């Protein structure tokens, strides 16, 4: 059985190497070595040296912590200190974060919109025999609404890193516990965070993108 799991893992890595990348945190893939991509890197080095430097720093952190989520390094460090085995978590957008979080939380609900990526994540989770994870496939109007089946104040931690993030932010606001944390990746894109007015705001930035953190106050009276 271990041999079968190793063979399946190698097959998945092979597939990912030849799959078209998506997102800033895409793993090593064949598209990174195309002439057009390499030329783009050279142009970036010549015209945007600061951006090129920050990109190299991001790559360094990803190589140093290959199993960590594709968030800013500061956000990952905060999560490493913050998460405890009694935390209940929810995330929109499955992937490396799902495996990483499942190993640190009491329970985790993870919602993915892409069927192919869902199957890849599900296969990885099955191989590692996680039993504390509720992995869901959903898209369209039901995607952000997946959290509505849970009562208010249900979660200690919520990660928003998938589709329709403004709608997910609105849906998450009432589901986080007092003192709980909402992490929003790629926050520099300009999502609607007005539902989190009154939350404590802490941005993190790696020079390429932001992962913003919102903390619900402990006093219920301050909640919008």
- pLDDT tens for 161-179 read 999 999 999 999 999 999 9
Q: Please say whether the beta carbons of 173 and 196 come within 8 A.
A: yes
What predicted TM-score, i.e. pTM, was given to this entire model?
0.77
Kindly tell me if the per-residue pLDDT of 31 is higher than 90.
no
122, containing H or E segment: helix 115-128
Q: Please say whether the beta carbons of 31 and 20 come within 8 A.
A: yes
181, containing H or E segment: strand 176-185
Return the structure tokens found at 82.
């913050």
Kindly tell me if the per-residue pLDDT of 220 is higher than 60.
no
Q: Would you call 116 helix, strand, or coil by DSSP?
A: helix
């Amino acid at each position: 059985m271990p041999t079968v799991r190793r063979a399946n893992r190698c097959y998945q890595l092979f597939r990912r190497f030849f799959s078209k990348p998506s997102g800033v945190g895409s793993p090593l893939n064949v598209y990174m070595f195309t002439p057009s991509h390499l030329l783009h890197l050279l142009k970036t080095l010549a015209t945007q040296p600061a951006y090129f430097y920050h990109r190299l720093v991001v790559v360094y952190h990803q190589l140093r912590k290959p199993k960590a989520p594709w968030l800013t390094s500061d956000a990952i460090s905060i999560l490493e200190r913050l998460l405890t085995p009694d935390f209940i978590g929810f995330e929109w957008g499955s992937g490396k974060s799902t495996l990483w979080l499942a190993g640190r939380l009491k329970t985790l609900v993870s919602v993915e919109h892409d069927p192919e990526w869902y199957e890849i994540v599900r296969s990885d989770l099955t191989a590692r025999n996680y039993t504390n994870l509720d992995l869901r496939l959903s898209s369209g109007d039901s995607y952000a609404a997946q959290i509505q089946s849970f009562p208010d104040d249900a979660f200690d931690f919520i990660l928003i890193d998938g589709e329709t993030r403004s709608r997910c932010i609105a849906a998450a606001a009432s589901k986080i516990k007092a003192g709980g944390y909402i992490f929003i990746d790629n926050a520099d894109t300009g999502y609607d965070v007005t539902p989190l007015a009154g939350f404590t705001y802490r941005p993190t930035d790696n020079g390429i993108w932001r992962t913003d953190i919102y903390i619900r106050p402990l006093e219920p009276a301050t909640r919008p």
